[in-house]
Amino acid sequence: MNELKNKAKEILNANWRDGFSIPCEKLYPFQWNWDSGFIAIGFAHFDMPKAEKEISTLLDAQWGNGFIPHIVFHTDTDTYFPGPDFFCSELHPDASKKYKTSGITQPPVLGFVLGEILRISKDKKATLKFIESVIDKVYDNHNYFYTKRDPQNEGLVYIYHNWESGTDNSPMWDDIIHSMDSPDYEFERRDTTHIDASQRPSKREYDHYLHILEIAKEHNYSDEKIAELSPFLVQDPLFNSMLIKSNESLIELYTLIGGHENKIKQLETWQEKAISSFNNKLFDEELGAYIHYDLRNERKLRYISSSSFTPLFANIPDKERAQRLVQTLMNRFGKENQYLCASFDPESDLYKPKKYWRGPVWINLNWILYNGLVQYGFDDISKRVKDDTVELIAKNGFYEYFDARKEVSDGGYGGINFSWTASLLLDLLNK
Which active-site residues does the annotation give? 168, 400
Return the HEC string of the chain.
CHHHHHHHHHHHHHCECCCCECCECCCECCEEHHHHHHHHHHHHCCCHHHHHHHHHHHHHCCCCCCCCCCEEECCCCCCCCCCHHHHCHHHCCCCCCCCEECCCCCCCCHHHHHHHHHHHCCCHHHHHHHHHHHHHHHHHHHHHHHHHCCCCCCCCCCECCHHHHCCCCCHHHHHHHCCCCCCCCCCCCCHHHCCCHHHCCCHHHHHHHHHHHHHHHHCCCCHHHHHHHCCCCEECHHHHHHHHHHHHHHHHHHHHHCCCHHHHHHHHHHHHHHHHHHHHHHEECCCCEECEEECCCCEEECCCEHHHHHHHCCCCCCHHHHHHHHHHHHHHHCCCCECCCECECCCCCCCCCCCHHHCCECHHHHHHHHHHHHHCCCHHHHHHHHHHHHHHHHHHCCCCEECCECCCCCCEECCCCCHHHHHHHHHHHCC
